[in-house]
A = this chain, B = another copy of it.
Amino acid sequence: MSGKGAAAFGESNTISRHGAFGGAVSFHRHEAVETACAMRFSVFLPPQAAGGRVPVLYYLAGLTCNEETFMIKAGAQRVAAELGLAIVAPDTSPRGVPLPGDSENWDFGVAAGFYVDATVEPWSRHYRMYSYVTCELPALIAAHFPVDADRQGIFGHSMGGHGALTLALKNPELYRSVSAFAPISAPMQCPWGQKALAGYLGPDRDRWRAHDACELVRGLETVAGRPPMLVDQGLSDPHLQKQLSPERLEQACAASGYPLTLRRHAGYDHGYYFISTFIEDHLRHHARSLLA
Q: When chains A and B are docked, how far (Å) is the Cα of A20 from the Cα of B18?
A: 26
Q: When chains A and B are docked, how far (Å) is the Cα of A71 from the Cα of B272?
A: 10
Q: Is the CB of A267 within 8 A of B24?
A: yes
A251 within 8 A of B: no
Q: Chain B contacts of A277 at CB under 8 A?
A: 19-22, 77-78
A268 within 8 A of B: yes
Q: When chains A and B are docked, how far (Å) is the Cα of A25 from the Cα of B1?
A: 32
- Interchain nearest-CB distance for A232 vs B (Å): 12
Q: Interface size of A by Cβ–Cβ distance < 8 Å?
A: 28
Question: With contacts A1-B266, A266-B1 known, is A271 near B18, CB below 8 A?
Answer: yes
Q: Is the CB of A273 within 8 A of B25?
A: yes
Interface of A is mostly: mixed
Q: Chain B contacts of A109 at CB under 8 A?
A: none
Q: Is the CB of A19 within 8 A of B77?
A: no
Contact with B along A233-266 (1 / 0, CB 8 A): 0101000000000000000000000000000011
Q: Chain B contacts of A20 at CB under 8 A?
A: 273-274, 276-277
Q: When chains A and B are docked, how far (Å) is the Cα of A273 from the Cα of B76?
A: 11
A269 within 8 A of B: yes
A73 within 8 A of B: yes
Contact with B along A3-40 (1 / 0, CB 8 A): 00000000000000011111011000000000000000
- Interchain nearest-CB distance for A128 vs B (Å): 31
- Select one of B77, B236, B266 contacting A276, CB under 8 A: B77
Q: When chains A and B are docked, how far (Å) is the Cα of A265 from the Cα of B75?
A: 20
A72 within 8 A of B: yes
Q: Chain B contacts of A22 at CB under 8 A?
A: 277
Q: When chains A and B are docked, how far (Å) is the Cα of A1 from the Cα of B73?
A: 21
Q: Chain B contacts of A71 at CB under 8 A?
A: 273
Q: Is the CB of A274 within 8 A of B18?
A: yes
Contact with B along A211-244 (1 / 0, CB 8 A): 0000000000000000000000010100000000
Q: When chains A and B are docked, how far (Å) is the Cα of A181 from the Cα of B18?
A: 15
For the complex of A and B, the 8 pairs showing the least CB-CB separation, nearest first, are: A75-B75, A19-B267, A1-B267, A20-B273, A18-B273, A19-B268, A21-B277, A25-B273
In the complex, given contacts A20-B276, A72-B72, what are 13 additional A-B residue pairs having Cβ atoms less than 8 angstroms apart?
A1-B267, A18-B268, A18-B274, A19-B234, A19-B269, A19-B273, A21-B276, A21-B277, A24-B267, A72-B272, A72-B273, A78-B276, A78-B280
